[in-house]
Structures are given as C-alpha cells and as structure tokens.
Structure 1
Amino acid sequence: MTTQERGATYTEVFASGEFRVLFGSFTLLVAGDQVKMLALSALVYARTGSPGLSAAAYMLGFLPYAVGATFLLSLADRIRPRALMIAGELVRVVTCLLIAFAGLSVWAMLALVLVTGLFSPVFGAARIALLPDLLPGDAFVLGRSVLTVTAAGAQIGGLAVGGGILAATGPSGALAATAALSALAAVVLRFGLPDFPARGAEAGPPGERTEDGGLPAGEAEGGEVRTEQARGRGAVWETLRVNRVLLADARIRGLLLAQWLPVTFVAGGEAMLVPYLGSTAGYALAAASVGLAAGSFVVGRLVSPSGRERLAFPMAVASGLPLLVFAFQPGLGGAALLVLLATVASTSYELGLQRWFVEAVPEPVRGQAFGLASAGMMSGQALGGVLVGVAAELTSPHMAIVLAGAATVCCSLALHRSLRPEPS
C-alpha cells in the first residue's frame, strides 16, 4: 500500500510531542472562549437587561475576523509562532481580567472585545500553519481532523462547564476562570513548544509559478530583498499585498472558495434552527456538533487519503441535500438527523481539500493563507446566518433552510473543478 493510500493513525499523530502541546493548548483555548463569551453575554444582560445586546455580545468574538484577515494576517508569517501564540493567550488573560474587574462600561467592554478580537485570526493562523511542519504528509490531515473533533467537544464542554461556573461564581468568576485557562495555555506553549523561526524570514513573497509548481528564478533570487522591503512597509500593506497575490492564483482562489461557500450556507441553515424549533433547538444544534465530530473522525481516520480527495466533490454536494428535506417541515427528531447528516458531509469534504491547499500555497506565506481560509469560513458563517435570516423574513424559517440547502448544492456544483483531484 502506498503512502498516498495508507492513512495516518492517531498513534502517529500523537507521537509528536509538539502536536500534543498544540492539542492541549487548543483545547484550553476553545473551552475558554466558550466560557468567556457566555460570561460576557451574561454580564451585559445583567447590566442592561437587553436580550439583543446580550446576544450581540455572545456573537461579538466572531465579527473581527474579516477585518483582521484583511489587514493583519501577514504577522502570522513575520513573527515567531510560539511568541505569537503566547501573545494571543496573554491578550485573552488581560481582556478577561479587565472585563471582570476594571468596572468598564458595557460599551467599553464590547469595544475591548472587538479590538482585541482583530488579532484572533493571526493567533489562529500561526497555530494551524505549524501543523504541516510537525505532522508531514497525511498526518497533517488527520491532525486537522483531531482539532476539528476537539473543537466540537470543547465547545459543548465549554458551554456546559461555563454554565456551571457562571451559576456558582457569576460572570466575573467565569471570566477569571477563562483568564486562568489562558494563562495555563501560555505556560504549556512556552515550555512545551520549540521556538521555531518566523516563516517569512527565509524566503520571499509568493509570485507566479513555473510549470513544476515552483517560483520563477527571478522571484527566487530577489525574493529576500523584496521581503525586507515589504516588512518596511508594515503589516497592513504586506497583508493586503499577499492576500491579493493569493486570490490572483486560480488554484488557491478556487480552494479558498470551496472552503468558504458551501459551509456558509450550511451554517446559515443551522442558524434558522432556533426560530424553526423554538426552545428545543438546542438538541438539533447538539446533533450538528456530533455530526462535525463524527465526520472528522470517520473520514479522517477510516478513509484513505486518495479516497478523501475523491469524496470531496460528492460530499460537498451532499452537505446541502439534507437541508432540502426541510420543505416537508420535519419535527425535532427529523430535523436533528438532517442537520447531523449535513454537518457530517460538510466536514468530510473539507478534509479532502487540506492536502491540496498545503501544496498549492507557497511555504513562506502559509500562515497568512491558512489564516485567510479560516477567517473566510468564520466570516462566511456569520454572513450565511444574515442571508438566511433575510430569506426567513421574506418566506418562513423552514423555507429559508431549504434555500440554504439549494445554495449549498449550487455553490458545490459551480466549484466542481476545485473540489475534484487534478488530473495526474
């Protein structure tokens, strides 16, 4: 069996001590963020009595991703990854303690979360871009799968634990607990992860490719000088420039859109579960998290690397099909099953794109490329909720979910070239 046909194993993935450090710190990060946003939402509601502001506070952590990805992502390749990740944890510590104990007004708290959130995609990009270095070959894809499963479990666990801490200590105590988790993660990173050099320090910016996928000779020879010039222009200028170059590459652009668009509408459909199911929507949302974990585990571990890639296109199309069944207005059980199937398919097709994306992106800007992909997914899910919400205003919640499923299928069909293996 060839390397391409033999998938990596969890034993191989967790044999890397550096990955275990990333895994542990990532678990603390996701769980802590859930507790933080839950506590912030409760604190805003206690101060204002406004359900709208409370809901806005809970979603506030997702809003800065688009701005941070547009203007700051080059930092992920210009700063040493360990230092960047530790800085992210310390920013979270300070933010939580200020919100909990500094006596800030509600608007000052929200502004603080927005401003510090601008750097979240940078911190996340540094973490994900390090994975291919720690886990070569198919182990990288399985590592991504592990983090996806962990994110789903930590979100559920974080909400459950956060609810208990919130009930026992109040919002300030829950925020202090989040600060403690982030401080612990910073210590784990500092003493468990090697101090890798900044990714962009050894090579120049991306450019057009030769037929064998490499950079042209002129680009390779002058790349280092142009990188120093780009640094002199600042992080914002370099982020905009590299984003423009990445999006100008047809292969990279197609893979980015394939990671963004189908998921946008699947998430938009899920956003309608609360108005569709009312107080029982939590069960269906939990089913979505189960589907996320199940798809990552089954396809990541039990399907061969080439099999995952062949499944990318059909599974992307399949992720929208269960949402079409909402035309028949299923009850809670049926809705939960349909959402579970949609998220299984959605997660499965994304795993099939991971190796292609790593190979398509120039290594010196891998951090920015992964950050752009992640930020686009986060921003797209928020946009999907807005678009499907507008559709629900014009039709009904169940028909809005149907339209989300149709949009998912149409996007997948339109992106079929990016979702299929390139001819050998």
Structure 2
Amino acid sequence: MSAEPAPLPQELIRVKRDGARLAPREIGALVAGVASGALSDAQVGAFAMAAFLNGLDRDETVALTAAMTASGVRLDWPDVDGPVLDKHSTGGIGDAVSLLVAPAVAACGGVVPMIAGRGLGHTGGTLDKLDAIPGYVTGPNLDVFVRTVRSAGCAIVGQTAEIAPADRRLYAIRDVTATVESIPLITASILSKKLAAGLSSLVLDVKTGSGAFMATTKRAEALARSLVEVAAGAGLPAVALLTDMDEPLACVAGNALETRHAIEILAGRRSDARLMEVTLALGAEMLLLGGLAPDAASARSALEAAFASGAAAERFALMVAALGGPGDIVERPATHLAAAPIVRAVTPERDGVVSGVDARALGLAVVALGGGRTGADDAIDHAVGLAELAGVGEEVGAARPLATVHARDEADAERAAAAVRAAYRLAASGEPVRRPPLIQERIA
C-alpha cells in the first residue's frame, strides 16, 4: 500500500484561512516545511496570518508545539547537580530580568539553560542585550552551550541550529508580518524552545500594559493560562506571573545600556527597585518549582543573599567568559560596552509629576534610534537608547529630566526627545498618582 501523499501547503493554509481546523498530521506537515525550507517565506507568513486571524484551538496549539519541539534535538541533563529551571518573559521595555535571574538561580543550586530571543516589534530582546558584550557568542554550537551550562550553572543563548529550527524561522517571520500577538503562536514558540531545552519546570513572566504585546489584562491572562495549560499537557510544570508593563521595568531601555545596568546591579554598584522586585519574584518561583526552597520567603532570602555575596555576579562572569566575552566584564563594563556619541537630557515642557507613560512609544523611540529592527535582517546599534527614565509618581522638571537620549547623531537625538516628551503624561506637582501593582496575578 502506498503512503498517503503529503498535503499541499497552500491547501493547508487555505483551510486555516477559511477558519477550519487542522489535524495534527497537517500541522506536522506545515512545520516540517517551515524547518526544511520547503515552505517559502510568503507561505510561512500566510500561515502565521491565518492563525493570527482565525486562531488555533488548544489541540492545534499542542500539536504545533509538539511539532516544533520535534523539528530538532531535545536536550537531556542526566548528570547535572540540580534541577533544570528556566523563566521566560513575553517581552517589554527595560526588561533585563534574564541577565539577573539566571546567574542568581544558578548561585542557589539551579541549572539554567536559557534559550532567549531577540527583540520583537517595540520590545527589547535578551540576545540583543548580550550581543552588546564584545566576543559573547549568543549562537554557540550545542557542545559549547551544554559545556557552559555545566561549568557556570547557566547559559543564556539563542536557539542553536539543532533546537526547534522550525520555531527559529517562524519567530523571525512573525516579527515582520504583524503576527507577533497571536496567543497560540506565542504559546507554541515559547514552549517548543523550553521543551527542547530539557527543563524540569518553567516560570513565565507575562506582561500587561502599554508596553506589552498583551496590552489588556484579559489578553495577558489568556496567554498565561494558555502557556501554563499547554506546558502541563506536555508534562512540564509551569507557573505564570502577570506583571505590569504600563511603564518601563527599569530606568533604562537599549541594549548596551540595559546590559551595563544589569551588571552594575549584579556588582552591587546600583539598585533598581522595580527591576529587582520582578527578578526576585520570578526567581523565587523558579527555586520553589525546583525544590530548592521550602517556601517563598526562604527562596527570596536565598536570592537576595546570592546578589549580596557576589555569587550571582560570579556566575554571570563565568557564563560570559565561557561564551567568548571578556573575563572582567563585571569589574569594567564601561571598558567593553559601546557608548553613543550623543547624550542629551530630555526636559519636560512644564514641571509636574509623571501620571502615566506610553511604554510602547518609548520602545519605538529606541527602535527609531537604531536599537531595534524594522526588518528581520536589520543590524542593531547596541549603543543607543534611553536612560534615567522617570517613573510614574516622580516629580520632573528642569532639575529632573524625563530621560536622557543616547543617540548616534543630533538629528536622531532630537527625534527621540520629541518621542519621549509625547510618551509622558504629567499631572500637577503634588497631585496623587495611582501606580498599578507590579505583580498582578499568579497563575498555576
């Protein structure tokens, strides 16, 4: 008996375009074509748009996740000394949590093989931040990745060629086809990489607010539940936290700026309350899922001790050196990280208190400076961005700017300054301002 012929990809795209359901075999055929290159970029984009507009049900999402996981190798960690843990953020502005939480959890006994992503749309990407470190290889071969995890306890890298190659291609095409926000596609993208990494558990940071892809709490909660439920269906214990992205998480936005900011925090030379609060909350969930702490208070204390003692900084330095970066990055970040030639303060048009921020507009301002991509293959200027960003509730005026712009030239600086002013809403000085809770919900 002859084998059943493979379905034509254009017919499968038509099925989803018309709102019908795809069977697991049909989804598997599409994913195989994505991974092999048999599907053109136009066909992959068409499938992504059809899925975005008509959705994928839970079974289709599980099938897509499984097919993308199976498109490459699946790692195993039989002899590591500790639970294999990870976290993933859905993306935002000023979110350098990965650079802090991975080495801190490693210092507490976890093993963290973190497969991270690049910036999508208006958001920053962890790999773009690490690319700002000279010599750091965000795309190592599998042997180097595994060796770094074993020696440093953590490694933050992109997808190697062997891990979920179908997702790697689909991820890049989603970024430039306005299909980033699809809950099923996000779910399958995140979980396929995490399942391929051989995790024992996963913590998810799902952002909500103006700077998030899921701007409304309802959409963010739907994504969080999708991630937790599909992960559970795949045998991966997971917890999700809904966190606020109605303003930047840190006071900086931009690749080298955020990397240096994280290093200064690791070294104990700087603090950032909002960034650290999310870092500690996510890290505590990781330790709890991994059985490395008996309760949340103990987990948080262990992480705080890892930062205070320098153990987290030591793990970060080991990771950077093992992946090709300078051995003294923690001691001398300014020596190694690029700086923009133009730095300009952005003062508000009037004094007042910050009552709101369009975080997405700030992210787009960074992209316009050259710190993000408008095309899949665009080069990034790691030096540019925004620093000293004022937070909600802060008094601003001539003595306290809204931000400082780090730009390549004066024209870029002027455009960014105008974008920053437009992104901020001010109330009269002394007027009470409401700030939403930073951590809004826990979903398990």
Please indicate, yes or no, whether the TM-score normalized by the shorter chain is above 0.5: no
Structure with greater strand percent: 2
TM-score between both structures, scaled by the size of structure 2: 0.29
Q: TM-score, normalised by structure 1?
A: 0.30
